[in-house]
Amino acid sequence: MKKQQRQEDIVKTLRASREPVSGTALSEIFEVSRQSIVQDIALLKAAHYNIISTNKGYIIVDPPPREKIFKVYHSHEEIGDELYTIVDAGGFVKDVFIIHEIYGKIQVNLFLATRADVDAFVAGLEEKKTSPLMKLTDKFHYHTVEAVSDSILRGVEKSLQEKGYLITTG
């Protein structure tokens, strides 16, 4: 397992636990040394994860998420890259929705937090030969994106804009 994936999984493990998780338990789960876990925790703290060390283990304290809706446009082939752009900037892709001229708002939960989540979603589209919602609205669609801070949401917005995916209004 690569270090970045392990760190993402450590965060998921801490978020899923109702009790502190010891460094020893994490080292057993991820089959690495206790020192590797200590280093991973230090890097996660540096990346602004609010991880607290207690005498019983590690806990993560997440602030209430911030949320922003982004209107985007891209080709079918760019779906993965668009979603990578969001999660790589620290965003959590809560959903995708369109505003259809006849049916109104059509919304589907996505819950994508990592590149692995994006890969699974894109593979599911390909395996099932399913058309994405954006096909109904000539590639225009919206994503609700959550993040732990407004600065991360600004980073998501900037990254989408740089790649030409973001549609600005007004």
**Sequence ranges of the domains in the chain:** 3-60, 66-162
Distance of CA 124 to the CA centre of its chain: 17
Share of the chain above pLDDT 90, in %: 68
- Cβ neighbour number for residue 98 with a 10 Å cutoff: 22
- pLDDT for position 26: 96
pLDDT the model gives residue 149: 85
pLDDT at 170: 46
Integer angstrom CA distances of residue 133 from 34, 37, 40, 110:
45, 41, 38, 12
The count of other CB atoms within 10 Å of the CB of residue 36 is: 16
Instruction: Give the domain 66-162 fold.
Output: Histidine-containing Protein; Chain: A; (3.30.1340)
Contact between 104 and 33 (Cβ < 8 Å): no
What's the residue count for the chain? Answer: 170
Low-confidence residues in the chain, pLDDT < 50: 170
Per-residue pLDDT at 129: 80
The CA–CA distances, whole Å, from 158 to 56, 106, 110 equal 40, 26, 22
Quote the pLDDT of residue 130.
83
What is the pLDDT, as a whole number, of residue 64? 67
Assign a CATH topology to domain 3-60: Arc Repressor Mutant, subunit A (1.10.10)
